[in-house]
Amino acid sequence: MFIIMDDFYRRIGKNVALARKMNGLSQLELSLKMGYKSVSVISSSEIYYKKKHFNLEQLKKISEILNVDLCDLLK
């Protein structure tokens, strides 16, 4: 099965947004917990704006902050 990367990154962004909302965190709160000073990384990556997406290090941090299995963010 061939996965189109754009679709894959969009799906990951949606999974992160859903997990973040289920944990009651805003984009700013998650950004601050990750060490960023603004929401730009989170907001852009959640919607794959201008092809910006989460990298593995960011996804690992997000999974730890949200107490979600990393694999669940990739499904």
Structural domains of the chain in order of their starting residue, each with its CATH number: 5-74 (1.10.260.40)
Q: What is the pTM of this model?
A: 0.92
Q: How high is the pLDDT of residue 22? A: 97
Q: How many residues does the chain have?
A: 75
List helix spans (H) across the chain: 5-22, 27-34, 40-47, 56-66, 70-74
Query: CA-to-CA distance for 3 and 1, rounded, in angstroms?
Result: 6
CB atoms within 10 A of CB 43: 17
Confidence label for 1 from pLDDT (cuts 50, 70 and 90): low
* 23 contact partners, CB below 8 Å, separation of at least 6: 66, 67
Q: Average of pLDDT values for 42-53?
A: 96
Q: Report how far apart the first and last C-alpha atoms of the chain are (Å, whole number).
A: 14
